[in-house]
Structure 1
Amino acid sequence: MADARPLDALRSTSSAGKQGTTAAAAVPKGAMFGGTRLVGTFFGSSSTTGTNWSCTGSVIDTPARNVILTAAHCAVGYSDNYIFVPKFTKGAGPDQQPYGIFHIQHIFIDPRYIPDKPHSSTKKPWSDLDTAFARVSANQRGQRLQDAVGGGLTFTRPSGYDNKNVTVVGYPGKDHNGDGRAIKCTVPTTQLAGFRQMSMTCGGYYGGVSGSPWITDYQDDARTGHVIGNLGGYNGGGNDANVDYISYAPAFGADAANLLADAVANQDPPSNLPPYHGIQAKLPGGAALWKHAKLLASGDYTGNHRGDMIVVWSDGEVTLYPGDGKGGFLAETQLKAPNSTWTHAETITGGDFTGADLSDLMVRWSDGEVTLYPDVSSAGMGKEVRMAPSGSVWKNATQISAGQFHNGKYATDLLVRWVDGELTLYTYVGAGTFGTENRLLAPNGTWKNATLLTSGNFSGNGNWDVLVRWVDGELDTYVATSAAGLGAEARMRDPDDLWTHDLVMTAGNYTPDNSSDDLIVRWSDGETTLYADTTRQKLGTENTLVYPGT
């Protein structure tokens, strides 16, 4: 099998004719080198002295310590007769390879990834799923993979498609790499238009490089690093001309994360996953527009007992997006055209403070005035009610969030985080009154770092919970908060640099379970995400509403 046809032959054809073009001449070219311990290639038998290595794989840091990453269009042809060889040395036998050889035990591929024909790639939307993981056996020395190489790459979801410095390491095939050396290139990435994929421009990436890790903090022979994608995707990871200097990679998201979890658990992915249709935003406008979504407020503004969302934009426009009850949205309604007044809205929340079974919108303005707009609907904002005058102490209210904190039927309570870290709960708020004031926390340094907060029923209790995003990206819920005090803290996510890019968030009832446990996040690059059925300690199923780079 060492002389079998390589599975990654798509770009093995020379593109020398293309290299003479101005575009090709201007692009950087990858550097050949001796390889790195966390990246290797594959052979179709236990022999490594043959000439037909195919595709590239990398070691992923997992509790199982035996998981590798490659491309799905490579892995569809693999079996337990295939081996993975980290930092492959051409001409050396199995016992002379730096870290030994590792037989593939089991392949994990998203069942929705469908190649156009056996052992090939695809140009269909599900090319976004061209990622595979495999578990491997111990090497001939009895070592597990990570123990042998001394580390592994950290699976990382990128914050967007545009990355300044990404290093791609792979093994071009023998037709362009007789010495069997690895290639590396560090370049910026952009989005492949219409796909959930990154694109890079660097020459020398011929057939064999499929599966190559895209690493954001690469160092030669490092024992760790962060990988955000693998070479593959549309047309197997290259453009229609199959040139060696254009390469693609699926950007890791929830699908790849779930697939990795299956590999770690050593269980096949579920066969009943919903069909994959590619990038189909559930909110109109694209990420460039949604970067300007300044404030979000959930509520039932249409009276159908489903979650709807109000958006205040940076230019003062206010729009209403009715929810469809299935995690998506119906056509938007403009409530306010762009204007100077609403550019001064600092924080907003939706609650049923007037008890009319239709949500109201409360706004704290930059001058300290607080106003309530009862019964907001597609017909308009409703008659304004002044809750606090201009120049009031409410200028120091950093965030406000409505909720049900007294085991009531409606969201008639208002949680306030003040600039000095004080936390106050106002129960039974109504038109013109803040009801009863309850101090939950005295001024303190800790809660000054509560960058964002929202309220929802994440724990299923009668009283709602408070969800906080801290300055370091940590997420916590405070379960069953009430006038008696802040609820018990439950860690949802450890400090995470990715979540420092969460700039706006709101929670509401957007999915069929009819509970206010769906979290919506607007990220710094404009991507907007819904986490359906979030619990007190775990983010719910991720649904992209607006894709980054679109």
Structure 2
Amino acid sequence: MAPRPVPRARTARVTALAALLLAAGTACGGSDAPPNAEVAQPSPVRDRIGTLSIHSAQGPRACTASVVHSPRRNLLVTAAHCVQNRRIGLLDGLVFTPGYRNGYTPYGTWPVQSITVDPRWAQDDDPDYDVAFITVRPVDGREIEDAVGGNPIGTDQGVGLTVSVTGYPNESDEPITCSVRTRSQGSTQERFDCGGYTDGTSGSPWVTASGTVIGVIGGYQEGGESPGTSYSVAFDQRVADLYRRATT
């Protein structure tokens, strides 16, 4: 579906939306004692990852998102359940804060302008389409990609790849990261095993050594039911088509 403008936040909905954020998280546990994520140290690539929150960087947290390369240089990727579901509709008043740490916002806060999800997510919350692309408004005359750069989206990359996954647990003011190998979770889903990916880390990008995003935490069980195993929609033609809709 075409990008849709995000309606202005309505005060009466903020409390309900904040409650919904508590359910927007990720991850699930494995029986083979997966490694645990560590605090992510700042770097130019990690600074492309940030928090999605309501109204301000200190507002209620939704999820994690990251900047991806696009023709207009204003695009993020996250999980669809972070920004919309059938009960609430689109979340109002979202802002993106790249590189957020301990209250510090080195690149400012960027208001969300529009959200693109697949019609099958919008209609049925279908976990095989739990991906969203978000445009953000310019700040001080600059687009977000001009401020922090952007990673390319990669599709049809297969499984068994080593990725770095960085995201923001709601209970922490610092991001966590883990280097892991992807595994298949059926024909339309992938997974990785690493502990620590709790509520708030949905939408965290799966970044290869070349800097390509090949997944985001989401999909099956909206990313997972416990912190040791996380899921993503397989980035294939479905995601390539959605990216095309978001950028045209």
- Output aligned runs, 1:61-80, within 5 Å: 61-76=69-84, 78-79=90-91
Change (3 A) 1:111 1:249: same
**How far did 1:23 drift?**
2.6
Match of 1:229 in 2: 215
In structure 2, give the amino acid aligned to 1:48.
Answer: A
- Which residue matches 1:37? 47
TM-score normalised by L of structure 1: 0.39
Write the deviation string for residues 253-311 of structure 1: whole angstroms up to 9, x where unpaired: 1111111111111xxxxxxxxxxxxxxxxxxxxxxxxxxxxxxxxxxxxxxxxxxxxxx
Letter in 1 for 2:212: H
How far apart, CA to CA, are the structure 2 residues paired with 1:130 and 1:12? 12
Query: Which of 178, 181, 186 is 2:174 aligned to?
Result: 181
The two structures have a TM-score, normalised by structure 2, of 0.83
Aligned to 2:165: 168
Q: Is the 8 A contact 1:83 1:103 kept in 2?
A: yes
SS of the residue 2:241 aligns to: helix
Matched AA of 1:158: D
- Within the candidate set 81, 95, 113, 2:121 is matched to 113
Q: Report the secondary structure of 1:154's partner residue.
A: coil
DSSP-derived class of the 1:166 partner: strand
Distance 2:156 2:206 in 1: 11
More helix as a share of residues: 2
Shift of the alpha carbon at 1:130? Answer: 0.6
Which of the numbers 78, 81, 100 marks the counterpart of 1:88? 100
Contact 1:79 1:105 in 2 (8 A): no
1:336-375 mapped onto 2 (5 Å cutoff): none
Q: CA RMSD in A?
A: 2.4
**TM-aligned CA distance change 1:11 to 1:101, over 3 Å:** closer
Name the SS of the counterpart of 1:5 in structure 2: helix
- Determine if the alignment matches structure 1 residue 156 to structure 2 residue 147: no
Matched residue SS, 1:113: helix
| One-letter code aligned to 1:235 | Q
> 1:115 deviation in Å?
7.2
Does the CA contact (< 8 Å) of 1:11 and 1:244 recur in 2? no
Q: Which runs of 5+ in 2 are unaligned?
A: 1-13
TM-superposed deviation, 1:158? 3.5
CA contact (8 A) 2:26 2:226 kept: no
Q: Deviation per CA, 1:396-441, whole angstroms, max 9, x where unpaired? A: xxxxxxxxxxxxxxxxxxxxxxxxxxxxxxxxxxxxxxxxxxxxxx
Q: Distance in 1 between matches of 2:131 and 2:24?
A: 17
1:196 equivalent in alignment to 2:188: yes
Q: Give, in whole Å, the separation in 2 of the partners of 1:173 and 1:155.
A: 26
Q: In the superposition, relative to structure 1, how do residues 6 and 32 fare at CA in structure 2: closer, same or farther (>3 Å)?
A: farther
Moved over 3 A (4+): 10-13, 77-80
Offset, 1:148: 1.1
Q: Does 1:214 align with 2:200?
A: no
Letter in 1 for 2:247: V
Q: Whole-Å Cα distance in 2 between the matches of residues 104 and 217 of structure 1?
A: 28
* Aligned-partner Cα distance in 2 for 1:103–1:142: 13
Q: Distance in 2 between matches of 1:128 and 1:68?
A: 19
Which AA in structure 2 matches 1:232? G
Q: Which residue of 1 aligns with 2:143?
A: 144
Gaps of 5+ in 1: 117-121, 219-224, 266-550
Rg bigger for which structure?
1
SS at match of 1:256: helix
Counterpart position of 1:370: none
Distance of aligned partners of 1:78 and 1:101 in 2 relative to their CA distance in 1, 3 Å threshold: farther
* Identical residues among aligned pairs (%): 37
**In structure 1, how many angstroms separate the alpha carbons of the residues matched to 2:24 and 2:96?**
21
Aligned pair in 2 of structure 1 residues 130, 103: CA closer, same or farther (>3 Å)?
same
- Distance between the aligned counterparts of 1:28 and 1:246, measured in 2? 10
Letter in 2 for 1:237: G
Matches within 5 A, 1:274-353: none
- Aligned residue pair count: 227
Q: 1:8: Cα distance to partner?
A: 5.4
Q: Report whether the alignment pairs 1:256 with 2:239.
A: yes
3-state secondary structure, aligned to 1:235 = helix
After superposition, the Cα gap between the structure-2 partners of 1:85 and 1:11, relative to the gap in structure 1 and judged at 3 Å, is closer
Who is 1:28 aligned against?
35
Alignment partners' CA distance in 2, 1:212 and 1:107: 17
Report the CA distance between 1:39 and its aligned residue: 0.5
CA distance change for structure 1 residues 40 and 100 in 2, over 3 Å: closer, same or farther? same
Checking the alignment, whether the CA contact within 8 Å between 2:69 and 2:153 is kept in structure 1 is yes
How far apart are 1:170 and its partner, in Å?
0.8
The verdict on how the C-alpha distance between 1:158 and 1:199 changes in structure 2, with shifts beyond 3 A counting, is same
The question of 1:245 aligning with 2:228 is answered yes
